[in-house]
Amino acid sequence: MKERITRHWDGRAKAYDENVRQVIYSSRERRIWQKIFSVAIGSAPLRILDVGTGPGIVSNLLSELGHDVTGIDASEGMLKKAQSNSEALRNPMHLIQGDGEVLPFDDSSFDAVVNRYVLWTLPQPEKAIAEWQRVLRPGGRLVIVDGTWFDERDRTACRQLWRSLSLILIMLTERRMPCYQEMDKTIKRDLWSCNMKRPDHDIEMLTRLGFRDVQLRDNLNRKLLLTLNHLKHGYGGRQFLVTGVK
């Protein structure tokens, strides 16, 4: 299943980068996301691991703030996009190809572990979180940003209309026809995130693993409401942020 998921993201690297890169190339969106992460981890320079870095969105956001960032991703195609964005924005970072559930780092290697839109796609989420916990130093913070992408309660007529209008907005603002490649239905069917109530299950996993001060911020959609990227792609579901301290 991991191989199938990796092939999916390799095939989507170019289109996905085009869909999300507005976050780091738009000064307004960049400031909003940097504030979201700064509230979660603080402003002091930290050694941070960005798991599932993709095209380097979070890694670039945090590197620009002065953090020492390492990004890891299983997809070679995504890492090439991350390297290209890093060079274009002149943000230094370390990029490594690897498995987010089996990290090639020593215990207590990082002050913070972060990820954005990643946990939903991992076959064994609790195993992954335990591994992220292992590489955190005592007192280090885990930050998970994700969404209710497959919650049928969010599949309203309003959201379907939003998706249709978003295609027009992308064509007008980016002068391109948006290209979406849906994940294989058999993969989605077997993913834990399609079968669990979130973010409740995320909080339960962190609590079971012994994280302290587990907190939920369930209002990210309101903060992102007027950003162009959210208007284009926010129809997918409710976004949330969960943090915990080792």
Token digits for 168? 């027009």
Alpha-carbon torsion, ordered 95, 97, 100, 103, to 10 deg: -80
Residue 33 lies in a domain: yes
State how many domains the chain has: 1
Segment 227-239 shows an average pLDDT of: 66
DSSP 123-178: S-HHHHHHHHHHHEEEEEEEEEEEE-TT-GGG--HHHHHHHHHHHHHHHHHHSS--
What is the pLDDT at residue 4?
79
Model confidence band, residue 163 (pLDDT cutoffs 50, 70, 90): low
| Domain span holding position 42 | 2-150+184-229+238-245
Residue with token string 């095939």? 11
Token digits for 190? 């077997």
User: Rounded to an integer, what distance in angstroms lies between the CA atom of residue 63 and that of residue 74?
Assistant: 21
Is the pLDDT confidence value at 24 over 90?
Answer: yes
Percent of the chain at pLDDT above 70? 79
Residue 218 lies in a domain: yes
Q: Cβ(47)–Cβ(111) under 8 Å?
A: yes
Largest CA distance in the chain: 48
pTM above 0.75, yes or no: yes
What is the pLDDT at residue 241?
97
Q: Tell me: the pLDDT tens digits for 176-216?
A: 655 555 556 666 677 888 888 899 999 999 999 999 999 99
Residue 174 lies in a domain: no
Q: Cβ(191)–Cβ(121) under 8 Å?
A: yes
Give the three-state DSSP class for 200. helix
Give the three-state DSSP class for 101. coil
Q: Tell me: the pLDDT tens digits for 79-128?
A: 999 999 999 999 999 999 999 999 999 999 999 999 999 999 898 999 99
Q: Tell me: the pLDDT tens digits for 54-91?
A: 999 999 999 999 999 999 999 999 999 999 999 999 99
What is the pLDDT at residue 243?
98
Helices (H), 48-101: 57-64, 76-89
Give the three-state DSSP class for 231. helix
Segment 145-170 shows an average pLDDT of: 67
What is the pLDDT at residue 164?
62
Segment 32-43 shows an average pLDDT of: 95
Strand partners, 147: 239
Percent of the chain at pLDDT above 90? 59
User: Rounded to an integer, what distance in angstroms lies between the CA atom of residue 226 and that of residue 182?
Assistant: 26
Return the CATH number at 213.
Answer: 3.40.50.150
Residue 57 lies in a domain: yes
Residue of higher predicted confidence among 167 and 21: 21
Mean pLDDT of the chain: 86
Residue 92 lies in a domain: yes
Is the pLDDT confidence value at 45 over 90?
Answer: yes
List the strands of the sheet with 136-147, edge to edge: 94-97, 68-73, 47-51, 110-116, 136-147, 239-245, 212-217
Is the pLDDT confidence value at 140 over 90?
Answer: yes
Segment 118-143 shows an average pLDDT of: 96
Residue 175 lies in a domain: no
Residue 118 lies in a domain: yes
Token digits for 58? 């979070």
Residue 166 lies in a domain: no
